[in-house]
Amino acid sequence: MTPSRPYIMRALYEWIVDNGCTPYILVDAGIDDVMVPEQYVKDGQIVLNISPTAVVDLNISNDAVAFNGRFGGVATDIYVPVNAVIGIYARENGQGMVFEPEEAGDIPPDDEPPEPPKPEGRPSLKIVK
């Protein structure tokens, strides 16, 4: 099955916004392909405000969170793979979710699944009358 994280993130984002709160995501900036302003990273992590008033062209896909935001007045394209999102929560009350780190085995392979093992020896079926 595909990972549930992006589906949960989209649902929590909608829930937070519908309740008049500000959605924040906590990101592990050390994960490959994360594109965030390095000067705002602290202890390998960055908190991003993804509210509709703070970002442009927000897209929470099954692969990544991408948007255009402003940092120090400079427009910046942000790209965060879904597995780099540590959590999503409301700034006002902290309600949301922290995700378990993904292990290599949790990510579905890109190629064909392996063939099931073939049985060894003769079948052990009997004729029943």
Residue 48 lies in a domain: yes
Question: Could you tell me the pTM of the whole model?
Answer: 0.77
Residue 46 lies in a domain: yes
Residue 43 lies in a domain: yes
Q: Which two tokens stand for residue 110?
A: 């890109």
Above 70 in pLDDT, residue 98? yes
Q: Which own/partner contact pairs does 98-103 have at CB distance under 8 Å and 24+ positions apart?
A: 98/26, 99/5, 99/8, 102/3, 102/5
Residue 110 lies in a domain: no
Residue 108 lies in a domain: no
Q: What is the DSSP string of 98-109?
A: EPPPPPGGGSPP
**Higher pLDDT pick, 127 / 23:** 23
Please state, rounded to an integer, the average pLDDT across all residues of the chain: 88
What percent of the chain has a predicted confidence (pLDDT) above 70?
Answer: 81
Reported as a pLDDT band with limits 50, 70 and 90, residue 2 is confident
Looking at residue 108, its pLDDT comes to 52
Of the candidates 92, 42, 41, 48, which has an alpha carbon nearest to the alpha carbon of residue 70?
48
Residue-wise pLDDT for 50-72, tens only, equals 999 999 999 999 999 999 999 99
Above 80 in pLDDT, residue 10? yes
Which sign, positive or negative, has the C-alpha torsion 64, 65, 68, 71?
Answer: negative
Q: What is the domain-level CATH number for residue 22?
A: 2.30.30.220
Residue 127 lies in a domain: no
Q: Give me the number of domains the chain comprises.
A: 1
Looking at residue 129, its pLDDT comes to 75
Task: For residue 52, give its domain range.
Answer: 5-96
